[in-house]
């Protein structure tokens, strides 16, 4: 087979892959929009006392067995952000949104927007929540030697 025949076959495979990815992305976007509409329709604001939060596997999370059976198989292996909170007289386990999991304070009372067992949004009940600051590492100057860097680390300058 000449080299240009191999090139045409490779271009056809790449084009088929791009087309397949387009349709898969379109289907996933449609599913995401439907689930977001369902979450928006059923969400409600609840006052809760956060007892504990951690990332654990679904089987170790303390969620009801029915929830674990309904989850897709890919979530059985993955660690999920689980929040244990007291809502009224009951202690319940919730699944937190990945974006807000770090904002949730432990052993504090918060006002959360909940859709079923899924925490969508969190606000402080009496005080605003503290945002986690991202620390920037100090840049090492190129003219510093390894010895100077070690001395600065020992002094706490870096």
* Dihedral sign computed on CA atoms, order 122, 101, 80, 48: negative
At 25-59, the pLDDT tens digits run 999 999 999 988 988 888 899 999 999 999 988 88
What would the mean pLDDT of 15-26 be, rounded to a whole number?
Answer: 97
> Does the pLDDT at position 146 exceed 70?
no
Tokens at 96, concatenated: 């937190």
One domain, residues 120 and 49: yes
Residue-range definition of the domain harbouring residue 32: 1-42
What would the mean pLDDT of 2-10 be, rounded to a whole number?
Answer: 91
Total-model pTM: 0.64
At 67-120, the pLDDT tens digits run 878 888 877 788 889 999 999 899 999 999 888 988 898 888 999 999 888 899
One domain, residues 48 and 37: no
Looking at residue 143, the DSSP 8-state letter turns out to be T
Q: Are 59 and 71 spatial neighbours (Cβ–Cβ below 8 Å)?
A: no
User: Domain for residue 48, yes or no?
Assistant: yes
């Amino acid at each position: 087979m000449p080299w240009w025949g191999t090139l045409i076959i490779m271009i056809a495979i790449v084009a088929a892959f791009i087309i397949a990815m387009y349709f898969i992305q379109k289907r996933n976007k449609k599913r995401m929009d439907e689930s977001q509409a369902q979450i928006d329709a059923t969400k409600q604001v609840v006052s809760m006392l956060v007892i504990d939060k951690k990332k654990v596997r679904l089987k170790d999370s303390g969620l009801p067995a029915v929830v674990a059976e309904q989850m897709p198989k890919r979530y059985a292996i993955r660690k999920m952000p689980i929040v244990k909170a007291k809502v009224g007289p009951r202690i319940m386990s919730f699944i937190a949104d990945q974006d807000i999991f770090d904002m949730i304070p432990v052993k504090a009372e918060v006002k959360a927007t909940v859709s079923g067992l899924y925490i969508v949004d969190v606000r402080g009940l009496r005080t605003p929540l503290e945002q986690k600051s991202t620390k920037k590492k100090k840049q090492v100057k190129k003219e510093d030697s390894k010895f100077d860097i070690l001395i600065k680390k020992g002094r706490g300058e870096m």
